[in-house]
């Protein structure tokens, strides 16, 4: 599961302790992009090793001062100054923890029961009844894929207990709900016996094989994006009311809908990517993984290669520059020395730490600030409203600093004396 997390840290700064060398105990692990022919582990060809994107920052301009890291514990004893205020270390080790649920309960929406006597469900076969919800469809549509299709969730899970559950079978059309999942390889047949007596094989239909992980599921579902714009759920047996909080039915978030772990080796994990052995395709054997939590406190290794939070891929290109090191810019402080070669995070007051991009107008490489800027108040200067993108009606009705409509981000205006930008994620979490 890979949850992307960004943190933007600014502190007011001053001076504190002498720096201690950062020595590695030689404890660590291998980071591999999976180029071993056995799996598709980590499609991030650059870099295979997130250690290459690590960097630190120095927030040392005010009374509060600290070194900051884009991985593990973001304030750490091993990097001075470590969470200081005055002559004391108040926050010498600061970790980051984030948890997300694996599903959204079906009871958050309104469901109606219907059969083919209802115009919404008229495509159903005789004797088949389903539940449908339009506001569930609206929630599913809050995120769209590249084709403009609803994409907030990845599937429907049932029998949820202790954060485990079974994935439902996705059918291709409303009319297929409750229909046979099998077909005969030779002509038409109503059942397996009839098919085999005619010399055929009784096989799963292609739409079922596309979702083989749920070929025997008790629940089926369809998302209708054309006429009805609704979510439909059919229950083969053990029927429950999805309106009830104890129905144990939910919509699966993408991070909880992942290929099943097939085997765990010392160097990598192998997942079941189906017949085509390609990750994130329909024939993958998906599984419901439940809630996920990533943290950075429990690592006791040096240099914390096993932390859940690592610098985001290509940070050394996209979020900071490696042109100058900590020793180059902060070697004259009491926190480090000229020999400190550790890369630096982007500091707002040091453009040489910013990443580089091509200026399409000058066709020259120039540093750019990777984060956002502070907001400027325009309420007392109506002449600037149009150029700044201020809505005259919304701001003009209450032109005060308490009105958020009177503020706009202003390029070049930083939030603090020294803003420090970093990006990290849990791509390498175990």
pLDDT tens profile 209-240 = 989 999 999 999 999 998 889 999 999 998 99
**Mean pLDDT within 78-106:** 90
- Say if residue 29's pLDDT is above 70: no
Closest CA to 398 of 413, 385, 380: 380
**Mean pLDDT within 385-411:** 95
State residue 346's pLDDT score. Answer: 98
Structural contact between residues 348 and 366, judged by C-beta atoms closer than 8 angstroms: no
* Burial 251-271, CB ≥16 within 10 A → b, else e: bbbebbbbbeeeeeeeebebb
Is the preceding omega at residue 303 within 30 degrees of 0, hence cis?
Answer: yes
Average pLDDT, the chain: 87
Least confident of 22-26, 151-155, 261-265: 22-26
Q: What is the reported pTM? A: 0.70
- Domain limits, the chain: 1-99+295-344+420-430, 103-288, 375-409
Q: Which residue would you say has higher pLDDT here, 88 or 161?
A: 161
Q: What are phi and psi of 57, to 5 degrees?
A: -130, 165
Give the CA angle between residues 26, 29, 33 to the nearest 5°: 140
CA gap 325, 205 in Å, rounded: 60
Q: Which residue would you say has higher pLDDT here, 252 or 1?
A: 252
State residue 31's pLDDT score. Answer: 60
- Say if residue 310's pLDDT is above 50: yes
Placement of tokens 């002449």 in the chain = 383
pLDDT tens-digit map of 30-73: 565 443 333 344 444 444 678 889 999 999 988 889 999 999 98
């Amino acid at each position: 599961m890979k949850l992307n997390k960004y943190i933007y840290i600014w502190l007011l700064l001053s001076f504190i302790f002498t720096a201690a060398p950062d020595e590695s105990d030689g404890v660590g692990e291998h980071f591999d992009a999976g180029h071993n022919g056995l799996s598709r582990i980590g499609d991030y060809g650059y870099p295979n090793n997130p250690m290459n994107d690590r960097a630190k920052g120095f927030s040392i301009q005010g009374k509060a001062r600290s070194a900051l890291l884009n991985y593990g514990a973001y304030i750490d004893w091993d990097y001075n100054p470590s969470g200081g205020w005055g002559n004391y270390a108040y926050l010498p080790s600061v970790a980051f923890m984030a948890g997300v649920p694996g599903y959204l309960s079906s009871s958050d929406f309104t469901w109606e029961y219907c059969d083919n006597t209802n115009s919404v469900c008229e495509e159903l076969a005789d004797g088949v009844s389903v539940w449908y919800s339009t506001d569930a469809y609206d929630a599913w549509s809050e995120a769209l894929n590249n084709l403009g299709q609803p994409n907030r969730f990845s599937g429907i899970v049932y029998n949820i207990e202790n954060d485990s559950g079974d994935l439902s079978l996705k059918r291709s059309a409303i009319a297929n709900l409750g229909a046979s999942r099998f077909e005969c390889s030779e002509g038409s047949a109503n059942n397996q016996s009839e098919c085999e007596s005619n010399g055929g094989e009784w096989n799963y239909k292609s739409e079922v094989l596309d979702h083989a992980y749920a070929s025997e599921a008790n629940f089926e579902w369809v998302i209708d994006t054309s006429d009805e714009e609704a979510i439909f759920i059919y229950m083969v047996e053990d029927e429950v009311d999805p309106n009830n909080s104890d129905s144990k039915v939910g919509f699966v978030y993408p991070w909880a809908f992942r290929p099943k772990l097939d085997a765990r080796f010392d160097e990598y994990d192998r997942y079941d990517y189906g017949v085509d052995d390609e990750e994130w395709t329909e024939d993958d054997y998906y599984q419901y993984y439940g809630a996920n939590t990533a943290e950075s406190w429990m690592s006791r290794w040096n240099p914390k290669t096993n932390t859940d939070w690592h610098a985001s891929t290509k940070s050394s290109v996209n979020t900071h520059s490696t042109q100058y090191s900590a020793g180059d810019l902060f070697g004259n402080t009491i926190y480090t020395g000229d020999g400190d070669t550790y890369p630096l995070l982007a500091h707002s007051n040091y453009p040489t730490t910013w990443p580089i991009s091509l200026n399409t107008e000058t066709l020259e490489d120039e540093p750019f600030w990777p984060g956002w800027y502070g907001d400027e108040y325009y309420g007392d200067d109506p002449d600037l409203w149009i150029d700044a993108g201020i809505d005259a009606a919304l701001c003009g009705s209450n032109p005060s600093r308490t009105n958020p409509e009177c503020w706009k981000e202003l390029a070049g205006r930083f939030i603090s004396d020294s803003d420090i930008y970093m990006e990290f994620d849990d791509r390498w979490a175990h």
